Amino acid sequence: MAKRIVIVEDDPDQRDNYVDAITKKGYDVTAFSSRKHALDGFDNELPDLAILDIILGDEVDAGFEICRDLLSRSPTLPVIFLTERITEIDKISGLRLGAWDYLPKPISLDYLAERISSLLRINEARVQSGNGSGTAKMVGELSIDQEALLVSWSGEPINLSGTEFRMLAKLVRVPGHAVSYDTLMNATMQSLVTNNTINTHMRNIRKKFDAIDPEFDCIKSEYGFGYRWSVKQ
């Protein structure tokens, strides 16, 4: 069965272009023009992935509100912001809400389709793998499986976005060694990445570990350079 993609975009021309391009890739695409229409649609069925503009009509933060609602219903749902609002504070806000990606307009339709495919593959691998593929690497109390894209801490699973997973994988590759901001930026596979963006991702990752272990302190900041994974003794 084709994966269901939802697009929330108030510009009719852009909306039609996105729908056409993504449908041609074999996805089942539904489009909404407003926050209200989108939320009404989600009451009937949730998508496998959502693409959200932020400004919808007169509502300047409508996309943020839709994201909150979606992730309250399905915390692992991949969400992409696709927007002309590309200031750092907007991107940080989107990432803090739990978005998997934040893309600027205008965008290549082929690139958008590839990002959708990539995020769906990541999510599908997690669902199919369940408890992992048996290829997990242990780093202290951390288990990270780069084939199944799964992470756990002290046996408890941690739900990381694709971007967060790639950054963590870079960080724990050589425990105790500092990883530069540039290396972590490359790991995000995103545009518009700054040191503050990396810091936001790291705060989000830390919060997810803290929720399981309030004494978690393995992610160390290397001021002006990047971050280091310190193995818990």
Residues 170 and 112 in one domain: no
| Long-range contacts, stretch 170-173, CB < 8 angstroms, 24+ apart | 171/219, 171/227, 171/228, 171/229, 172/137, 172/139, 172/142, 172/144, 172/229
Mean pLDDT of all residues in 82-98: 87
Residues 8 and 89 in one domain: yes
What span, in angstroms and rounded, lies between the C-alpha atoms of 113 and 116?
5
pLDDT (0 to 100) of residue 39:
96
Q: What token pair was written down for 13? A: 């021309």
Residue 12 belongs to a domain with what CATH number? 3.40.50.2300
Q: What token pair was written down for 76? A: 């692992």
The larger pLDDT score, comparing residue 58 to residue 147, is at: 58
What span, in angstroms and rounded, lies between the C-alpha atoms of 78 and 92?
17
Q: How confident is the model at residue 160 (pLDDT cuts 50, 70, 90)?
A: confident
Mean pLDDT of all residues in 180-207: 89
Residues 151 and 196 in one domain: yes
Count of domains in the chain? Answer: 2
pTM for this prediction: 0.71
Residues 40 and 94 in one domain: yes
What is the domain extent for residue 41? 4-126
Residue 143 belongs to a domain with what CATH number? 1.10.10.10
Answer for the pair 94, 100: CB distance below 8 angstroms, yes or no: no
Tokens 């790639």 belong to: 166
pLDDT (0 to 100) of residue 131:
47
Residues 103 and 67 in one domain: yes
pLDDT tens digits along 100-131: 888 999 999 999 999 999 889 877 776 665 54
What span, in angstroms and rounded, lies between the C-alpha atoms of 34 and 58?
10
For residue 215, which amino acid is it?
A: E
Mean pLDDT of the chain: 89
- Cα maximum dimension of the chain: 57
Residues 103 and 117 in one domain: yes
Q: What percent of the chain has pLDDT over 90?
A: 65
Domain ends where: 80, 104, 126?
A: 126
